[in-house]
Amino acid sequence: MKSIRILDSTLRDGMHAVSHQLTPAQMAIVAAKLDEAGVDSIEVGHGDGLGGSSCQYGFSRAPEAEYYQAVAQVLTKTRLAVLLIPGIGTVEDLEMAMAHGVKTVRVATHVTEADTGEQHIKFAKAHGLEAIGFLMMSHKAPPAKVLEQAKLFASYGADIVYVTDSAGAMLPADVAARISLVAGALSIPVGFHAHNNLGLAVGNTLAAIAAGATIVDASVCGLGAGAGNTQLEVLTAVLDKAGYHTGVDLYKVMDLAKDVVEKLMHRPQTVNTDALAIGYAGAYGSFLLHSRRAAERFGVDSRDILLELGRRQTVGGQEDLIIDVAIELAKQRNSSL
């Protein structure tokens, strides 16, 4: 029976869905139950990872170090992981996390910018951490480009490389094309991180595993940005039915979902029309609010703005482009009247 390693992201990606307001004590309760249920690894921290707690990305409820401390104390077998987005988090932040028991770091870059993670991967390896290269918005690059960037991460010493569907914009065939190319060419394990904006988080994760991924992300109740991540308890049941071994106790993660995490959520994790627009357009989740404001100001449909942003291959940080697109769409509409 093929084994699949599960990395739970409830306490990191899930923080987006609760405005980063979980307390260290709440995290410790969830972490202890994930550990008891046999989940291999859990990622903890601000939604945007190390250094994310800030004016720009929103402050966490508590100082970052307190989260790692609280969680590390309750773990017995489960590995503690953090996310590091170069430019948001620094090597100093990582040292802090290491001091509090973190064993794995995921260095997350835009799919075409793995080189910005070189120093962080090398630092992690030099200090005995497990290092994972995490290629965000992988739908934006064709499979060959994803492979090129995955090879860069491998060359820096990454132990694992992830194909990450940040906007939940991929179809199963898109996932399979990227994962199979990377898994076939690299000797290190390949991972997959899904979002459910097109209702395909579980389906895409199955497609990723069939294509060669051996580590996949999930979160309890699907808690995560946008439409959320792959729902841990659902994935556990599905992988069991499909004949894979995860080591996760299904009933225990179901109980955790129902008795603990559901009560911590601010809203149910459904595919609402905002999440769907992001997945359909393949645009950054953070563009949503700006697009809606620009749409109102210029009398256009915010979905048309998102679609155009998706077409233009915009990347995070290009929020100023949104106004330009809205003005152009308004002009087009006026000239066609």
Query: Judged by CB under 8 A, does residue 198 bind its own copies?
Result: yes
Nearer to its own copies, 85 or 211 (CB): 211
CA distance 238 to 248: 12
Q: Is 16 a catalytic residue?
A: yes
Q: Which two tokens stand for residue 42?
A: 């859990």
CA distance 6 to 9: 10
333 marked as part of a ligand binding site: no
Of residues 328, 213, 201, the one with CA closest to residue 271: 201
**Which one-letter amino acid corresponds to residue 313?**
Q
120 marked as part of a ligand binding site: no
Query: Judged by CB under 8 A, does residue 251 bind its own copies?
Result: yes
Q: Which of 66, 159, 301, 328 binds its own copies (CB under 8 A)?
A: 301
Binding piece for its own copies, criterion CB under 8 A, among 8-16, 105-113, 277-285, 312-320: 277-285
Catalytic option among 16, 20, 46, 110:
16
290 marked as part of a ligand binding site: no
46 marked as part of a ligand binding site: no
| Residue 213 vs residues 249, 251, 261, 316: alpha-carbon distances, Å | 21, 25, 27, 26
Identify the H or E element spanning 299: none
Q: Which two tokens stand for residue 264?
A: 């911590």
Whose structure tokens read 């004590």? 25
174 marked as part of a ligand binding site: no
Q: Which of 109, 180, 229, 231 binds its own copies (CB under 8 A)?
A: 231
Nearer to its own copies, 37 or 200 (CB): 200
Interaction pattern, residues 136-175, with its own copies; x per rule: CB under 8 A: -----------------------------------xxx--
Residue-wise burial string across 123-141, b where 16 or more C-beta atoms lie within 10 A, e elsewhere: bbbeeebbbbbbbbbbbbb
In the complex, the smallest distance separating the C-beta of residue 228 from its own copies, rounded to whole angstroms, is 10
- Exposed, middle or buried: residue 292 (CB in 10 Å: 0-12, 13-18, 19+)? middle
Identify the H or E element spanning 115: none
Apex 44 CA angle, 41 and 46, nearest 5? 155
Query: Judged by CB under 8 A, does residue 287 bind its own copies?
Result: no
Query: Judged by CB under 8 A, does residue 242 bind its own copies?
Result: yes
Q: Binding-site residue total for its own copies (CB under 8 A)?
A: 44
Query: Judged by CB under 8 A, does residue 77 bind its own copies?
Result: no
CA distance 214 to 192: 8
In the complex, the smallest distance separating the C-beta of residue 223 from its own copies, rounded to whole angstroms, is 11
Residue 319 DSSP symbol? T
Q: What is the C-alpha R_g of the chain?
A: 19
Contacts of 309 (CB under 8 A, 6+ apart): 281, 283, 284, 287, 291, 321, 322, 325
In the complex, the smallest distance separating the C-beta of residue 91 from its own copies, rounded to whole angstroms, is 38
Binding piece for its own copies, criterion CB under 8 A, among 4-12, 56-64, 191-199, 327-335: 191-199
Query: Judged by CB under 8 A, does residue 277 bind its own copies?
Result: yes
Identify the H or E element spanning 107: strand 104-110
Provide the annotated binding site.
12-13, 166, 193, 195, 284
Q: Residues at the annotated binding site for substrate?
A: 12-13, 166, 193, 284
Q: Summarize as ranges the residues that interact with its own copies (CB under 8 A).
A: 171-173, 196, 198-204, 206-207, 221-222, 230-231, 233-235, 237-238, 240-242, 250-251, 254-255, 257-258, 262, 268-273, 276-277, 279-280, 301, 303
List, by residue number, the catalytic residues.
Answer: 16
Annotated binding site for Mn(2+): 13, 193, 195
